[in-house]
């Protein structure tokens, strides 16, 4: 069953986000398509700025796919000094994509 994950990241900068994205793409820059993700199962990704950091909302096909991604992304956050908060995870009721 699909899940949505919500990360509130006070203190995380756009520069930190871009550093992590660059590491995820082996130096190719920003992730622009779900096929760019290092694990399968991502349905959508949104990153927004907030007054004190970033807000990231992802939709994953399964919680297992999200857990696999966590094994990749957490060390990268730690490497660039970005916060690693616990996400809010919710079961998806409906998803509409382009």
Residue 27 has what DSSP assignment?
T
Question: Can you give the pLDDT at residue 40?
Answer: 95
Question: Can you give the pLDDT at residue 28?
Answer: 86
Fold entry, domain 3-91:
Alpha-Beta Plaits (3.30.70)
Residue 29 has what DSSP assignment?
-
Token digits for 23? 């590491």
pLDDT in tens, 20-43: 999 998 888 888 888 888 999 999
Question: Can you give the pLDDT at residue 96?
Answer: 87
Q: What pTM was estimated for this model as a whole?
A: 0.91
Q: Give me the residues of the chain with pLDDT under 70, please.
A: none
């Amino acid at each position: 069953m699909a899940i949505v994950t919500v990360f509130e990241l006070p203190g995380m900068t756009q520069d930190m986000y871009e550093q992590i994205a660059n590491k995820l793409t082996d130096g190719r820059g920003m992730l622009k398509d779900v096929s760019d993700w290092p694990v399968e199962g991502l349905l959508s990704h949104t990153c927004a700025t907030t007054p004190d950091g970033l807000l990231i909302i992802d939709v994953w096909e399964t919680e297992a796919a999200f857990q696999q991604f966590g094994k990749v992304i957490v060390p990268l956050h730690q490497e660039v000094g970005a916060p690693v908060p616990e996400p809010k995870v919710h079961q998806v009721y409906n998803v509409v994509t382009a």
